Structure 1
Amino acid sequence: MKNVLQADQAVEEKAIPGLGAVARESLQERVYQELARSLMHGVFTAGQVLRMQALADTLQVSIMPVREALARLVSDQALEMMPNRSTRVPLITPARLEDLASVRCLIEGELVRLATQKIEEATLESLREMTAACESAFEKPLDDEQLNITSGLNYQFHFTVYGAAGSDVLLPIVRSLWMQSGPFVRASALVYGRKPSMTAVHHHWALIDALAAGDADASVAALHNDITQSFNLLRDEIAEGALDE
Structure 2
Amino acid sequence: MKSPTSDMLRDQVYERLGELIRSGQFAPGEKITIRNLARDFEMSPTPVREALYRLISEGVLQGEANRSALIPLLTREQICELRDIRLHVECFAAERAAQRGTPEFAVRLRAISTKLKKARAERDRRADLILVYRFQFELYGECQMPNLLKIINSLWLKSGPYLNLLFPHYVSSISTARGDWRERIAIGVENQDAAMVTEEIRQDIDQSLTYIADIIDAAAILRPTRA
The TM-score range, normalised by the shorter chain, is 0.7 to 0.9
> What is aligned with 1:153?
131
Q: Using structure 1 for the length normalisation, give the TM-score.
A: 0.79
> What is aligned with 1:51?
33
> What is aligned with 1:76?
58
Deviates more, 1:32-41 or 1:53-62: 53-62
Larger gyration radius, structure 1 or structure 2:
1
Q: Check the 8 A contact 2:102/2:191 in 1, yes or no.
A: no
Matches of 1:137 and 1:61, distance apart in 2: 30
Matches of 2:217 and 2:102, distance apart in 1: 42
Equivalent runs, 1:199-214 vs 2, <5 Å: 199=175, 202-214=180-192
> What is aligned with 2:16?
34
Q: Would the alpha carbon gap of residues 85 and 61 (structure 1) be closer, same or farther in structure 2, given more than 3 Å must change? A: closer
Q: Check the 8 A contact 1:92/1:184 in 2, yes or no.
A: no
Q: Check the 8 A contact 2:34/2:67 in 1, yes or no.
A: no
Higher relative contact order (CA 8 A, sep 6+): 2
- Whether 1:63 and 2:39 are equivalent positions in the alignment is no
Q: Check the 8 A contact 2:24/2:160 in 1, yes or no.
A: yes
Q: Check the 8 A contact 2:102/2:189 in 1, yes or no.
A: no
In the alignment, structure 1 segments of 5+ residues that lack a partner are 1-20
Q: Would the alpha carbon gap of residues 191 and 75 (structure 1) be closer, same or farther in structure 2, given more than 3 Å must change? A: farther
Counting aligned pairs with the same residue, the percent is 27
Specify the code of the residue in structure 1 equivalent to 2:215: E
> What is aligned with 1:171?
149
> What is aligned with 2:216?
238
Equivalent runs, 1:124-139 vs 2, <5 Å: 124-139=106-121
- After superposition, the CA RMSD in angstroms is 2.6
Deviations 1:117-174 (A, max 9, x none): 1121111122123223312322233xxxx12211121122111111111112211221
Q: CA deviation at 1:68?
A: 0.9
In the alignment, structure 2 segments of 5+ residues that lack a partner are none
Deviates more, 1:206-215 or 1:111-120: 206-215
Q: CA deviation at 1:207?
A: 2.4
Aligned pair partner of 1:110 in 92, 101, 109: 92
Aligned length: 219
Q: Check the 8 A contact 2:94/2:139 in 1, yes or no.
A: yes
Q: Would the alpha carbon gap of residues 98 and 202 (structure 1) be closer, same or farther in structure 2, given more than 3 Å must change? A: farther
Q: CA deviation at 1:42?
A: 1.2
Q: Secondary structure at the match of 2:142?
A: helix
Q: Would the alpha carbon gap of residues 80 and 244 (structure 1) be closer, same or farther in structure 2, given more than 3 Å must change? A: farther
> What is aligned with 2:70?
88
Deviations 1:89-130 (A, max 9, x none): 011421121111111111111111111211211111221232
Q: Check the 8 A contact 1:234/1:243 in 2, yes or no.
A: no
Q: Would the alpha carbon gap of residues 22 and 235 (structure 1) be closer, same or farther in structure 2, given more than 3 Å must change? A: closer
Q: Would the alpha carbon gap of residues 80 and 202 (structure 1) be closer, same or farther in structure 2, given more than 3 Å must change? A: farther
Deviates more, 1:226-235 or 1:130-139: 130-139
- Whether 1:120 and 2:102 are equivalent positions in the alignment is yes
Q: CA deviation at 1:73?
A: 0.9
Deviations 1:28-74 (A, max 9, x none): 11111111111112111111111121222222222221221111112
Specify the code of the residue in structure 2 equivalent to 1:220: T
Deviations 1:200-235 (A, max 9, x none): 874323323333332322321210101122112212
Q: Using structure 2 for the length normalisation, give the TM-score.
A: 0.85
